[in-house]
Amino acid sequence: MKTIVLYTTRHGSTEVIAKNIASKLNADVCNIQKKPIPNLREYEAIIIGAPIYLGSINPKMTALIEKNTSTLLTKKLGLFLVCLMDEELAADQFNAAYGNELLSHSTADGFFGGKMPENMLNPIEKIITHVAFRHKPIHEDILTTEVEKFIEIFKA
Ligand SMILES: Cc1cc2nc3c(=O)[nH]c(=O)nc-3n(C[C@H](O)[C@H](O)[C@H](O)COP(=O)(O)O)c2cc1C
C-alpha cells in the first residue's frame, strides 16, 4: 500500500518518530515545512504527525488538513501528536488539532509524549515552558511502545 508520513517539527522529536514510522511501513516521508507537499491523490494511506506548541499544531499542517480534508477522508489515515501534556490534556489537544471528522475516519491515532531538551530551547521558549507546565502533568519522553502499537494497528 503506497503510504506517506507528513509531519512538522521544530526541535526534531517529531521527525525521529515520523522517520521511524515511515521506515517500518516502507512509506515515503515529508517534512511539509521544508519540502513541497506531494500529490496526496497518489497515496492509498496517509499518516499525519505534528508537535503541539502553545496548544496548537503548526499552521502549515492545519492548512494542509483544511485544504485536503475531502481527499484525506478517502484514504487509510493515521494521526499522531507529539506533546508533553499527559492524559486528558493530551486528548483535548489531539481533538483540537485534528477535529472530529478526521478522528472518526482514522485507522490509528496516538499521542506519543515528547522531548524538550533545555539546551535546544531559546530563552523565550524556556520562560514559556516554565510557566505553561508548572502545574500540569507532563510526560517528558517519547512513548516508544505507543509508537509501536500505532504502527501495528495501522499495518493490520
Ligand atoms: C515553547 C514551547 C511550547 C510548548 N507548548 C506545548 C503545549 O501547549 N502542549 C504540549 O503538550 N506540549 C507543548 N510543548 C512541548 C512540545 O510539544 C514537545 O517539546 C515536542 O516534543 C516538540 O516536538 P518537536 O521536537 O518535533 O518540535 C511545548 C514546547 C515548547 C518548547
Q: Give tens-digit pLDDT for 111-153.
A: 999 998 888 899 999 999 888 888 877 778 999 999 999 999 9
For residue 8, give its domain range.
Answer: 3-155
Instruction: Give the angle 89-33-15 at the CA atoms, nearest 5°.
Output: 60
Contact 8 CB / ligand 1 (< 6 Å): no
Q: With a 6 A CB cut-off, is 58 part of the ligand 1 pocket? A: no
Other C-beta atoms closer than 10 Å to the C-beta of 22 total 18
Closest by CA to 69, choosing from 40, 110, 49, is 40
pLDDT at 100 over 90: yes
Closest-CA residue, ligand 1 atom 21, reads 114
In the prediction, which pLDDT does 87 show? 80
The number of folded domains in the chain is 1
Confidence at residue 74, expressed as pLDDT on a 0 to 100 scale: 97
- The whole-number average pLDDT for the span 41-63 is 97
CA of 127 relative to ligand 1 center, distance in Å? 13
CATH number at residue 30: 3.40.50.360
